[in-house]
Amino acid sequence: MKIKSLISSISAICFSLIVLTGVVFLPAKAASAANINELVNKPVLIENLETKRYAFSAGDPIKGNRGDEGGWLSSSGFQSPNVVGADANYYNRALWKITPAGDYFVIENVETKRYAFSAGDPIKGKRGDEGGWLSSSGFQSPNVVGTDANYYNRALWKIIAQ
């Protein structure tokens, strides 16, 4: 994969997470200019620009093989834990690894081994048609959860340069 394409893809993932959770990526050791080599396959913190909270993997680490949980909804027999915003990197659960997967990326929690996974329905219409992200806007945005596998490609992210 060419560096320009890789940077574009990582930018898309970051933008998607900013839209879904309001977060930005920072390398775990130090923030620096967007050098892709500092982000891919290394521990990173994902920090919200406004709240300064880190994306944090709640719930237990995965057990067994990927896919053993059978899904992400309680109807599958297992409810995947949410990815939440925390004020610190408690128990290393705010550390994530971004791994290339073809033209996309998987964002895996270093401690729990769970993937950042977009739940809910795909958007309908144009971006912005939902009118907001809170139920007070008439629409409640779906959660990002931590799953044990990439069910239906919902753990694949695209990063779009802006």
The pLDDT of residue 36 is 59
| Secondary structure (H, E, C), the chain | CCHHHHHHHHHHHHHHHHHHHCCEEEECCCCCCCCHHHCECCEEEEECCCCCCEEEECCCCCCCCCCCCCCCCHHHCCCCCEEEEECCCHHHCCEEEEEEECCEEEEEECCCCCEEEECCCCCCCCCCCCCCCCHHHCCCCCCEEEECCCHHHCCEECECCC
Domain boundaries, the chain: 3-118+132-157
Domain 3-118+132-157 listed as CATH 2.80.10: yes
pTM over 0.85: no
pLDDT band at 137 (very low <50, low <70, confident <90, very high): confident
Least confident of 35-39, 125-129, 151-155, 157-161: 35-39
- Assign residue 132 a region (left: φ > 0; alpha: ψ between -120 and 50; beta: otherwise): left
Give the residue-averaged pLDDT of 88-106: 94
